[in-house]
Amino acid sequence: MALEAKGGPCVTSLREDLRRRFRRGTDPQVQQAAFAYVVYWTKTVRSWTPERRAATLRAVQDIAARPDFLPTTYERRYTLADVDSSAHAGASLIALRQVLQAMESE
């Protein structure tokens, strides 16, 4: 549901923004994984400072811009040293990027 400010643009909730972004794709298993990644990252980044969010967004954008980047659903190929020591799937990083971009625009 969108809220309309008097004389201003329409403001969309974070949940609605993320829902719209993840409607693409037809494989239900991929959609479920993408949704799970969004839920995980939304819970995780809420406690981060704006500076940490911005730095992480830049790092994720750098990784996603690589020519060898693959948005794998489950295969964990990528690490974010500033986030944790775990490897992440490409789809997880895409979800993280989308969550960070949505939070940045709120």
Question: Tens-of-pLDDT digits for all 106 residues of the chain?
Answer: 344 444 444 556 766 666 666 555 556 777 788 889 999 999 999 999 999 999 999 999 999 999 999 988 888 999 988 888 889 999 999 999 999 999 887 6
Enclosing domain of residue 19: 11-105
In a domain, residue 55? The reply is yes
For helices 90-105 and 14-21, angle between their N-to-C axes, nearest 10 degrees: 140
C-beta separation of 63 from 53 below 8 A:
no
Structural domains of the chain, count: 1
**Is 3 inside a domain boundary?**
no
How high is the pLDDT of residue 4?
42
Q: Are 78 and 85 in contact (CB under 8 A)?
A: no
Phi and psi at residue 78, in whole multiples of 5°? -120, 140
DSSP-based helix, strand, coil % in the chain, nearest 5: 55, 10, 35
Residue 91 lies in a domain: yes
Structure tokens at 73: 């659903």
